[in-house]
Each structure stands twice: as C-alpha cells, then as structure tokens.
Structure 1
Amino acid sequence: MNYTFDFQSVSYGPLLDGLIVTLQLTAAANLIGIILGFPLALMIMSRIADIRVPAMLFVEFFRCTPAIVQIVWFFYCVPMLFNVFLGSMTMGILALGLNLMAFNAEAYRAAIQGVPREQLDAGIALGLNPLQRTLYIVLPTAIRASIPVLLTNGIGSFQQSALVAIVAVQDLMYEAKTLATETYRPIETFTIVALVYFAVSFPVAQIVGFLERRRQLVTG
C-alpha cells in the first residue's frame, strides 16, 4: 500500500458547519420524539379501537421500514401528494422526529405498564381525575423509567441523521462527501467524520450504561 495519509489537507471548517446542522437536526428530532412519544403511547394503550389501531399502525410503519426510505418518501412524496412544499431541513426533521416518536412511544408504553398499581390507587384515593393521574403520577414515573431508552434512541437519531445527506441537507455527512470529492482524500475525511460521530455518541452511551447500572442497584 503506497497511500500517504495527509490529514492536514482536510478543511475542518465545512465539517464543523455540517456538525452544527447535524446537532440541530438531532435536537429537533428528539424534541418531537420525546414530547409526542408519550401521548402516542397513551393512544396505543387506549381501549377505543378507533384511537388504538391508527396509533399502532403509525408505530409499526416507522419501526418496520428503513429510515432512509422514510426520509426519501417525505422529501419526494409529500410535496406531490399533499401539495406541501417545505425545505429539505424541515423534511429531514419531520422524518427523523416521527421515526423517533414511534420508538419512544414503545419505550413510554413499557414504562407506563411498569407504574405500580399502588400509586394509581393512591391518586384515586386523593380524588385525582384520570387526566390528573396521568400528568402527576404516570408521566413523571414513566419518564424516569424510560430515560435510558430515550437516550439510546437519541444516539440512534444522531447517527441516522447522516441519511439526510441524500436529500441535500448540508449536514456532517453531506459536507464530508463534498469535501472528499474536492480533495480526493476520502480516507482522511471519513475517518475524521467517524471519530466525530464516536466522540458525540460515546459519552452519551456511557451515561446510559451508568443509569442502567444505577437502576439495577435501586430495583435490586
């Protein structure tokens, strides 16, 4: 192998700009997924079929189809079918956010099912109505129990955000592809990009592991 590595030839400015866009995508998608995932979980657990079935179909669609297909579908099909024209960044956020919303809903659902019956009975004894019991008892308990899974899903959305490069969102991967083409240094460029993704994901993964071990000690 006669290849000579030259990391100094890689311009870090565009990669930094792309990283900022990637973090913005991830933050917006997680905001959608965390906030809307909980009511979606409640809909899945509803006794009313007209509410439960569409919610279950929504979750299964996003869980059982590739994220790249979802991103492409939003970018190309939504404007054609609904005459709605949004920027590629907005489309990317919607696709990633709805995908994350489906996965978070399952995390919330498992956490809701784990809420002790005694807490709900105490809420009834205090005279709380169903909405109040949901807000003051179920929601806080479910969020605490599902934090490790939510963080893990957040890491996944950060990594999956690289897929929006195919619809011309100028994220980290898009800038890396452009830079690699211009400099003819794909090895150096994508090695740096891989290290950036690792540097962001690894600390969060360690936090998830810590929370899991702490939870096992508390419940054990």
Structure 2
Amino acid sequence: MNYQFDLFFIANGLWPLLKGLVVTLQLTVAANIIGLTLGFVIALLVMSPNPILRWPFTLFIEFFRCTPALVQIVWFFYCIPIIFDVYIDALTMGILAIGLNLAAFNAEAYRAAIQGVQSNQYDATIALGLSPFQRTVYVVLPQAFRSALPVLVANGIGAFQQTALVAIVALQDLMYMGKILATDTYRPIEVFTVIALIYFAISFPISQLVEYIERRGKAENS
C-alpha cells in the first residue's frame, strides 16, 4: 500500500467540521431532553391498567424499536410534510426523529426500573397520604431514574452516534460536512478517520462514566 496520509487539507477544512459538530451536539442534547422526559411519561402510560392508554404507547415503543432509525429519519423528513402538510426546519425534524426514537428505548429502561421499586415504598407513600402525582414525582421518579441511569446514558451515546444518519437528508451535521470535505479534497480516508476520532473522543469518556456508575451501583447494593 503506497497511500500516504496528508492531514493538510483536513487542517484547512477544520472549521466546517466544527460547525457540523455544533449541529450534531445540538441534535444530541435536544434529543436526549426529549428522550429522558417523554420516555418516563411513556413508561408510566405503558404500565397503566387502562388498555386505551396502554396499547397506543406500546405500539409506539414497538414501532421505534423494530424499525431502522434511518428509515424513521427519512420518513419524518419526507412523509410528514406530504401527509400532514406540515413543514418544519430540518434541524427540528431531526431532533424529533431522534428524540422520539430515544424516548421509545428510554421508556423500556424506565419501565424496568419502575418495576424494580420495592412494594413497601408504595405502601409508605399511601400511608403518608401522598397523591398519585406526588408518589410518582417524589418517590418513583428519583429511584427509577437512578436505577435506569446507566442504560439511559448508554442510550444517549447511541443517539449521539445516530445523529450521523441525518446526513442522508442533507442536514449539515458533522457527517454531512465531512462528506463535503472528503469530496472537495479527495481525501476520504483522512476525513472519515478524523470524524471517527471526534465521535470516539466524545463517546468514550461518557461510556467510561456509565461503567463507573454501574460499578458504584453494584458496590452500594452489595
């Protein structure tokens, strides 16, 4: 192999990559806010004894878990404007697509954590006369969030990586700007290697945080 790496063109194109990274981080943060909040609400609705509330959100979870994220993103970008005659800017559409996908996966993490809350906790809240809303906010949510945190963080990392899929619909994220730079410089190996390192540099510390949280949780429970 006689190929020689040349990072000169990457250095000159670093600013567009940084602009793309800003869009990627905006997508990630906003999608995680949706995923963390909406995921908990969906988990509660899925656990409702009322089938009218339970089944639609069960189908919501299964749809997003059982279809490729790429298909979901393309469907949001091209089908929603046609079907509903609603036109939203590309960044907002990307946030909704990734956020709803993340909410479905987080809902399952929350549901498992809620089911792990000990029954005597519920008995204590009833004895104290707490309303269902107070019980949920002050007792169930803190414990479920703490138990589900490693999975929620891991899902958040996955959402960060999935943002690369929005490049296919021309949203100018890190991956999209990298594709343009690779085409302009004819240096795809260098460009996509740098992009991979950027994703790794952000994801790896967070993954280590997940492992630390899991180890600490096991130590506290032992």
TM-score range, shorter chain: over 0.9
The equivalent position to 2:109 in structure 1, one of 99, 107, 128, is 107
| In 1, Cα distance between equivalents of 2:210 and 2:8 | 35
Query: What does 1:67-78 correspond to in 2, within 5 Å?
Result: 67-78=69-80
Corresponding residue of 2:220: 218
How far the C-alpha of 1:87 sits from its partner, in A, is 1.1
Supply the distance in 1 between the matched residues of 2:173 and 2:31 (Cα, whole angstroms): 14
2:28 corresponds to: 26
Gapped runs of 5+ residues in structure 2? none
Cα shift readout 1:91-113 (whole Å, capped 9, x = no counterpart): 11100000000000001000100
- CA displacement 1:170-194 (0-9 Å, x = unmatched): 0000000000000000000000000
Q: Which residue of 2 aligns with 1:9?
A: 9
Instruction: Encode CA deviations 1:59-113: one digit per residue, 9 max, x unaligned.
Output: 0000000000000000000000000001111111100000000000001000100
Residue 182 of structure 2: aligned partner: 180
Whole-Å Cα distance in 2 between the matches of residues 82 and 9 of structure 1?
A: 44
Residues 35-46 of structure 1 mapped to structure 2, 5 A cutoff: 35-46=37-48
Alignment of 1:110-125 (within 5 A): 110-125=112-127
Q: Which amino acid in 1 is paired with 2:62?
A: E
CA distance in 1, matches of 2:198, 2:220: 34
- Matching residue's letter, 1:156: G
Does 2:83 correspond to 1:81? yes
Displacement of 1:219 after TM fit?
1.3
> SS of 2:88's equivalent?
coil
Letter in 1 for 2:143: T
Query: What is the TM-score normalised by the length of structure 2?
Result: 0.98
What CA distance in whole angstroms lies between the structure 1 residues aligned with 2:219 and 2:2?
Answer: 53
Q: Which moved more, 1:49-58 or 1:8-17?
A: 8-17
> What code does the residue aligned with 1:88 have?
A
User: Who is 1:135 aligned against?
Assistant: 137
Cα distance in structure 2, aligned partners of 1:160 and 1:134? 31
Structure 1: which 5+ residue stretches go unaligned?
A: none
Aligned-partner SS, 2:3: coil
Give the match's secondary structure for 2:129: coil
Q: RMSD of the TM alignment (CA)? A: 0.6
Secondary structure of 1:19's counterpart equals helix
1:41 is displaced (CA, Å) by: 0.1
Q: What's the counterpart of residue 58 of structure 1?
A: 60
SS in 1 for 2:152: helix
Equivalenced residues, count = 220
TM-score by length of 1: 0.99
Q: Give CA-to-partner distance per residue, 1:109-154, whole Å, 9 cap, x none.
A: 0010011111111111111121211111101111111111110000
Distance in 2 separating the partners of 1:149 and 1:2 = 44
